[in-house]
Each structure stands twice: as C-alpha cells, then as structure tokens.
Structure 1
Amino acid sequence: MSDRENLTYVYAVVPDTSRLRTALEAVRGVSGAAVSLLGEDAPYEAAPSEAAPTEAAERPDAVAFVISRVAAHEFDERTLKSRFEDLEWLEDVARTHHDVVQSIARQDTVLPLRLATLYQDDQRAREALAAQRHVFAERLALLRDHSEWGVKLYVGSPGPQAPEDRGAGGPGNTGTLSPGKAYLQRRRAQHSAREDHYRNAQEAARRIDALVSRFRTHRVRHPAQQGALAGPEENVLNDAYLVPDDRTESFRAALATVAGDLDGVRVEVTGPWAPYSFAMPPPPPESPQEDAVRDGAAR
C-alpha cells in the first residue's frame, strides 16, 4: 500500500533516543503495523563519505511521535464515525493502543495521546511535533521517573437485615410485628447502615487525601464509575495520582491499611500505569482542518 493510501497514527510522545527506536522494532500497533519513532527532522541520509550521527550526538531535549501507518479508507473521518459505534472494533483498537503505550512506559518516559490521533501523512505529523516540541519536552520532564496510580473508594451495600436481629425490643420479638411493620423496620435499619457506610467513606476519603499528599506530585479527580464498571459496590472516589517511582512501595503500603477499621468501605489501588491522566494534548492548530490532527476519540 502506498503512502498516499495511509494515514499516520500517533500513539504518544517520547524522548527521541536510539535506544527507544531499537526497543520498538518488535512492537506492533493497530492492524498489526510496525511501530516506530517519527522525529522532528526528516530521516538523515548520509553522503557516501559521511557517517550517520551517533547516539552521543542526540539532543537531550529531542522528542518524537510514536507512530504506525493505518489504511486511509479504514480511518478516514467518515469511517471513524461509524467505527466508534462498533464496540468490538473499538475495544480492539483501544487495547492495541494501550499495549503500545505500556510497552514504551516500561522502557522510558511516555506522554500518551488520545485514541485515534491521526495525521494525513508523516510530514504533517512532523510539523505538528515541531510546533509543540517545547510543550511536549516540558511535559515529559514533569513525568520522568513518575508513574500513574489509581485510587478508588467503594461503598458496599448494607445488605438485608435479619428479622431476628432487628425486631422490636430485640431478638425473639419479631413475631409481635405485622409483616408491614417488620418490612418498614428492616428498611430503616438498612437506611441507617447505609448512612454509616457513607460517613465511613467520607472519613476514608479524608484519610486518603492526608496520606497521599506525602507521596504524590499531582492528582486528577475522575468522575466516579457507574454501572458495570463499578460492579456491585458504589464507586464514590476515582482519583489518579502521579507518584515518583522511588516512592511507590511506601505509597502502596500506606494505602493498604487506610480504611481497615471502617465498615462498609473498600479502597482499591491500581498501577503502575502510563500517565494517561496527566497527558496534555496539543492545542487545536490554526491551519485548515484538513491539515489538522483528526482526533477520532473526540468525534
């Protein structure tokens, strides 16, 4: 397939190093395409009597896009609008995108970009990279030697109250209640237990905030998850923290017991992740739309 039939798919921004270029040789991206780095400058073509620049000559602030090529007819604007309604296709692309980013995160600092960030060709991508180089370099410096960790707080259901435990006057007295009164009493007991759980969740959130302030450098508050994503419990806190890599063990140990004495709440810590929550996409370019990044995830 010729370059004219391809689009340039961008996964992330990274430091432009020979070591990372080599590490990406075995990585495959969307549609199984080879993944590589696209730097600000066109590929160096040495004259017969010249030697190519060595890694020692690399600029310390040089950045590159992590890219692969995708078929234009599968990723053009019109096709993407329908494809993003195909959950099976979307899940496959999202998983591949994530796998590429995570493979880089194990090697070096990575600034993830949104799903389906596309350019018409390498030259357009290279121009956008050069225009935002200083912004990207500053963000990479912020993320260096840090990882993202997720902290979620859940409130459990109080569950049904046993009649023998909640009857008027204590155990053994439920027989004196009518079915209607017994039902209302159980409902009141459940409501009281739920209020206790929410109070405990507030206390857990306060403790979490006090603890992680000793370890994190930045925090992002995400909306609480709902439905199938939250499971049978209610998610009431869904935060992401940027934590120095040399402090992650202390971070996890501190959170492991933060809510151990609080009934009805559970703290979940996940990570390390590539810093998706702390990525900063470039601002919309001023060039005509056909020359701009076509961000499929936002459409």
Structure 2
Amino acid sequence: MTARPNADSPHADPPHAPVDGPLYAHGIVRRGFRPRPGLVGAGGGAVLVVPAGPLAALVSVPCGPGVWGGDGFPQASGAAGMSRAEAAAQAAADAHRRVVDEAAATVCVLPLRIGTVHRDEAQVRRVLTERADLYERLLTRLDGRLEWGVKAYADDAAGAWAAGDGAGAVTDGAGEPVDKLARAAHDALADVSECSRVHHRWDACPHGVLPGAAASCATSAYWTSPISGAPYPHGRNLLDSAYLVHREAAGVFAETVGGLVARCPELHIELTGPWAPYSFADPDELPDLTG
C-alpha cells in the first residue's frame, strides 16, 4: 500500500480543490513551497500552488471569471471604463509583485510576465512539464540570489543640464561631468555583484519566463523609473540598474552603496530591494554565474 504524504510536511503540496477556470500565474518555484495562508494574488483570489514534477507554479484565481481578457487584466470600455481598467491593472501588478517578493524572501522564485493567465490547472502543468529543463537551470543559476536596484540622479535644480551635446552639463567639485560619476558608481557595484543590467528607456519591462501577453509594466510599482530624458523629482536620472547579489553578500553590497553616497554628494543615490530576480529571469539571457 502506498503511503499518503503527510499534509503537515513542508514538502507536501498544500491541498486545494481543483480549479477549472482561468488562473493568474505569478512565478515558478521548486515543489514543496507553501505560500502564507491568506496571501492574496491578482484579482483578489487566494494564492495556490500547482505542482508538476519537481516544479510548481504560484497562481491565483481571479475574482469575477469572464471579465479577464487576453492580456491578463480586467476588460472595460468607454471613458469611465478606462480609468477602472487602469486601476485594475495597477492593482494586479502590485499583487503580482507582492506574491513574488514574499515568496522570494525564503525561496528562489522565477517571476513570470505580468498578466500571464492560463486557462486551467492542466495548462499550467503542461507548461511546467514542457519547460522543466529550462526552469530548473534558471532556478539553479539564481538560487540564493536576489536583485537590488540602484538609481542615481544629478541635481539640476538650477537648470545646469543642457540637452543635446551636453554643453553645460552638471559637474562635480573637480569639474568632471556627473554622468562619469554615475558610470563609476555602476562599475563599483558591478564588481561586488554577480551580474548587472542597466535599464534603458527603451526597456519596456523585464521579460517573463513563461510565454504570455505583453506586460503592462508601467503599472508596476517597481518598474516606474526607467532611464529617460525627463526630469525626476530628484533631478536628472543618470543610472537605473539592477544587480544580482548573493544573500550572503547583501551586507557588502549595501556598504558599497553607502560608500558611494558618501563619496559622490553630487549624486542622489537610491537603493531598493531586495527583490526576486526580475531582471535576470529571461531564458534567452541566462546569467553566467560561477560556483
């Protein structure tokens, strides 16, 4: 007789009634992870675990089936409907990030594209099975590592920044252009991280590891400040980078940021994180990590 798994075991899959309707997919983890009871996902539904082999997907059941469109966000029409759709998209993006980052606090998570919706559990399992090798390689590469974000701004309150050829650009006390300080800051942080990615203004969003509809990353609280020519509250944005850092090296990375803040008063430097490795979960750009 085959023994049944103990429901109290940390490696037992949390029980739930099979779901036939659409499921919003948040991320991929190794089988055995159990989300916090009461954790709410996109659309206000409870977060469930759908396992397949050694992997599992974190999904939620969108409330109000039938109103979710192909892009993973509630549909609406008309002028008044547009504002409701935008609010719903913002709420979905926030919930997506909340679920992924809460899981990433304890296990390695591959974040999926915002707005990834599957028809049912069978489709989720099929995708997990078909791409199991890729997902396991990504989980192995990223295990024990988190993403930190660093943004650097130059103070142009006095209007010293000039567009075009850079004439009249903001300089530090020695007369060096501040953008060189930002590049030096990035180099210093790259030296104490395992991988880095500079976000450019044409980066719409991080790529998901599951095929899905286009993400509405402008609604995500994390992806609101790509590099652009527009002024920011703190000045001109010179650096918007993501760094992959091992959990054990987080202190060293934070100290490096603190040292840059002290040495570069001409820059306003912001550190955010730790996050799940959003910028490093692209299957087409596997990070080349050692060890």
Q: CA deviation at 1:267?
A: 1.8
Bigger mean CA deviation after superposition, 77-86 or 115-124 = 77-86
1:78-117 deviations in whole A, cap 9, x for unaligned?
8848459522111111111111111111221111101110
CA distance in 2, matches of 1:221, 1:206: 11
Q: 2:67 aligns with which of 65, 68, 74?
A: 74
Return the alpha-carbon distance in structure 2 between the equivalents of residues 207 and 102 of structure 1: 29
The CA distance in 1 between the partners of 2:144 and 2:129, in whole Å, is 24
Residue pair 2:134, 2:283 contacting (<8 A) in 1 also:
no
- Which segments of 5 or more consecutive residues in structure 1 lack a partner in the other structure? 42-61, 162-186, 283-299
Does the aligned pair in 1 maintain the 2:41–2:47 contact within 8 Å?
yes
Structure 2: where are the runs of 5+ without partners?
1-17, 201-225, 285-291
**Aligned sequence identity (%):** 24
1:277 to 250, 265, 279: 279
Q: Which residue number corresponds to residue 5 of structure 2? A: none
Alignment of 1:169-208 (within 5 A): 194-196=169-171, 199-208=176-185
Greater relative contact order, per chain length (Cα 8 Å cut-off, separation 6+): 1
* Structure 2 SS opposite 1:116: coil
Task: Please give the TM-score of this superposition, normalised by the length of structure 1.
Answer: 0.67
Following superposition, the deviation at residue 40 of structure 1 comes to: 1.2
1:253 pairs with one of 228, 252, 255: 255
SS of 1:253's equivalent? helix
The separation in 1 between residues aligned to 2:231 and 2:250, in whole angstroms, is 26
Q: Within 5 Å, which residues of 2 pair with 1:14-53?
A: 14-17=29-32, 20-21=33-34, 23-40=35-52
Partner of residue 24, structure 2: 9
1:200–1:157 distance in 2 versus 1, CA, 3 Å:
same
Residue by residue over 1:185-225, the C-alpha shift from the partner in whole angstroms, topping out at 9 and shown as x without a partner, is xx9xxx97634259442332343233223321111111244
Measure the CA separation in 1 of the matches of 2:74 and 2:89.
11
Alpha-carbon distance between aligned partners in 1 of 2:159 and 2:142, rounded to the nearest angstrom: 47
Partner of 2:87: 88
Per the alignment, do residues 229 and 248 of structure 1 end up closer, same or farther by CA in structure 2, a change over 3 Å counting?
Answer: farther
Counterpart CA distance in 2 for 1:91 and 1:125 is 24
SS of corresponding position for 2:268: strand
2:199 to 199, 210, 222: 222
| Number of matched pairs | 230
Contact map agreement 1:222 1:238 (CA 8 A) in 2: yes
Greater helix fraction, Structure 1 or Structure 2: 1
Instruction: Provide the rounded CA distance (Å) in 2 between the counterparts of 1:216 and 1:78.
Output: 34
Q: CA–CA distance in 1 between the matches of 2:26 and 2:231? A: 25
Q: Which amino acid aligns with 2:129?
A: A
> Whole-Å Cα distance in 1 between the matches of residues 231 and 38 of structure 2?
33
Q: How does 1:13-162 map to 2 (within 5 A)?
A: 13-17=28-32, 20-21=33-34, 23-40=35-52, 62-70=54-62, 71-77=64-70, 80=73, 82=75, 86-159=85-158
1:220-253 deviation line (CA, Å, top 9, x unaligned): 1112444889324111111100001111111111
Q: Secondary structure of 1:277's match? A: helix
Which amino acid in 2 is paired with 1:32? G
Larger Rg: 1
- 2: CA distance, partners of 1:65 / 1:210: 36
CA–CA distance in structure 2, aligned partners of residues 104 and 118 of structure 1: 19
What is the alpha-carbon distance in structure 2 between the residues aligned to residue 158 and residue 212 of structure 1?
Answer: 27
TM-score by length of 2: 0.69
State the distance in 2 between where 1:88 and 1:128 align: 30
Q: Relative to structure 1, is the Cα distance of residues 202 and 281 closer, same or farther in structure 2, using a 3 angstrom cutoff?
A: same
Q: CA deviation at 1:11?
A: 0.3
